[in-house]
A = this chain, B = another copy of it.
Amino acid sequence: VKIQRYKRDGDVSYSLGMAPTMELLLARPYLAERVFVSAEAARGEALARLEGLCAAHGVPVEVGEKPFHVLSPKGNCFAIGVFRKGETALRGFADGANHVVLVSPQDAGNVGTILRTAVGFGFLDVAVVLPGADPFDPKTVRASMGAIFRARVRRYESFEAYRREHPSHNLYPFMLGAHTPLHEASFDPPFALAFGNEASGLPPAFAGVGTPVVIPHAGDIDSLNLPVACGIALYAASSYAKLSRQAVS
């Protein structure tokens, strides 16, 4: 089996590392095509568990260094999963599924960190509007720590394309100039929280869409880091934070 560098337009991607590959096999074993194990991998409990999952799901395991040289030249990676991207539709309004919509994010690592946070707060449906970072890039998979395998992730050619598919979600665009501060926002489900890119945020037109929300912060900084801002917003909008409001009021 010849391993090629990751291709954005291809059908497969790679989970680089023991933890994300384990998540692949736990959450979406039917997408796994093959697992490579480095000859340098420590023979321990984690590896035995990985091999056991592969056996249980009929996923072939190969030992070899070549895929690691091609896909992870910097080392520090002892297992690689080859998986079909298997992009599927997001759950919709009727399912009551809340969405996270990332509009043209630039950095694949940031998208992975946001997926990790989203899954942590129960947001399992994530739209990525292009142009932007590729949510199936191995860098995204790695930064997500495998959380990508717990979520439905779908790419859209434009925000309008997302909106045509999901026209009824209540929209909350996060923008610096918004009038509603996060602590006064009430999120009416099912809702979609939208975030812009790292450098410039959402396009100004989003000010006229849904209920724009701002995370208030001191003027000493221009803006929050994107995964940090998403983390705060997802925490505040999640059921965990709603428990807080009930407890206080």
Q: Which residues of A contact B (CB under 8 A)?
A: 19, 113, 116-117, 119-122, 145, 147, 150, 181-184, 215-218, 220-222, 224-225, 227-232, 235-236, 240-241, 243-245, 247-249
Q: Are B121 and A225 in contact (CB under 8 A)?
A: no
Closest to A215 in B: B235
Q: Are A117 and B228 in contact (CB under 8 A)?
A: yes
The 7 closest A-B pairs by CB, nearest first: A183-B244, A228-B231, A120-B217, A120-B221, A232-B235, A150-B220, A113-B225
Closest to A244 in B: B183
Q: Are A183 and B241 in contact (CB under 8 A)?
A: yes
A17 to chain B, nearest CB (A): 13
Q: Are B218 and A119 in contact (CB under 8 A)?
A: yes
Q: Are A243 and B183 in contact (CB under 8 A)?
A: yes
**Alpha-carbon gap, A220 to B220, bound state (A):** 36
A15 to chain B, nearest CB (A): 15
Q: Are A228 and B113 in contact (CB under 8 A)?
A: yes
Q: Are A116 and B221 in contact (CB under 8 A)?
A: yes
Closest to A227 in B: B228
Cβ-neighbour of A119 out of B119, B221, B244, B249 (below 8 A): B221
**Alpha-carbon gap, A243 to B215, bound state (A):** 12
| Chain B residues closer than 8 Å to A236, beta-carbon distance | 235
**Alpha-carbon gap, A142 to B222, bound state (A):** 14
Q: Given A232-B232, A249-B249, A225 and B225 touching (CB < 8 A)?
A: no
25 examples of A-B residue contacts, CB within 8 angstroms: A19-B222, A113-B225, A113-B228, A116-B221, A117-B224, A119-B218, A120-B218, A120-B224, A121-B217, A147-B221, A150-B220, A181-B243, A182-B244, A183-B241, A183-B243, A183-B244, A183-B247, A184-B247, A215-B235, A217-B240, A227-B228, A231-B232, A235-B235, A248-B248, A249-B249
A182 to chain B, nearest CB (A): 8
| Chain B residues closer than 8 Å to A19, beta-carbon distance | 222
| Chain B residues closer than 8 Å to A228, beta-carbon distance | 113, 116-117, 227-228, 230-231
A4 to chain B, nearest CB (A): 26
| Chain B residues closer than 8 Å to A235, beta-carbon distance | 215, 232, 235-236
A150 to chain B, nearest CB (A): 5
